[in-house]
Amino acid sequence: MMMSFFDQFASPSFLGIPLIAVAIALPWILFPTPSSRWLNNRLITLQTWFINRFTNQLLLPLNVGGHKWALLFASLMVFLITINMLGLLPYTFTPTTQLSLNMGFAVPLWLATVIIGMRHQPTVALGHLLPEGTPLPLIPVLIVIETISLFIRPLALGVRLTANLTAGHLLIQLIATAVFVLMPMMPTVAILTATVLFLLTLLEVAVAMIQAYVFVLLLSLYLQENV
């Protein structure tokens, strides 16, 4: 039973071919494409309003040089939200529960922000490794600590997204299993447990959106330090 709880995180395959590529490509097919008409339908208008509001809020603290990342951040945000939300449907697979995929997003983008900082303002980028006013005996220790914290950033990005989604899916499956087990024996307790399951599902919908926003927000903060 315990092993079956983690089977939902295994990458699905058909005839020995992994289907994770299909799970990653599917969200892009579901997005409505704007038409050439002056007036769009409500869905496209809502999608455009959401992306514009998110982009303005995210790029507000960045200077003009950081605005080049607007398309990348907006696309990544919509992509992560869609994948996380589709993963809450029954009999679906959530690619963002795989640490390898999240690290594949986190490491290149984090490395790009570091390279941009080292290229355009190396003094400021290296200055983040040593806070101003540090006592002389603590300088070597603080440089080592700040360097370690710098390299932990992509790991923290990937692990945060993976752990939150994995924990939520496990909780939903555990409580759903408890509802099925308790239904024939104690219907009242099963109904109360089902109510908890419904509330937890609503919470997981919020977590799916918040974690995608936090992932992109932290990347924008890393970029802010280097532009």
pLDDT at 2 over 60: no
The total domain count for the chain is 1
Residue-number span of the structural domain to which 127 is assigned: 1-225
pLDDT at 211: 93
pLDDT of amino acid 1: 46
Predicted pLDDT of residue 35: 67
Q: 27-39, pLDDT tens digit by residue?
A: 777 776 666 776 6
CB 138 within 8 A of CB 51: no
Q: How far is CA 11 from CA 28, 140, 177, in A?
A: 20, 45, 22
| pLDDT digit string, tens, across residues 82-133 | 889 888 888 788 888 888 889 999 999 999 999 988 888 888 778 777 777 7
Strands (E), 12-113: 13-14, 17-18
pLDDT at 39: 65
What are 42-81's pLDDT values in tens digits? 777 887 888 888 888 888 878 777 788 888 888 898 889 9
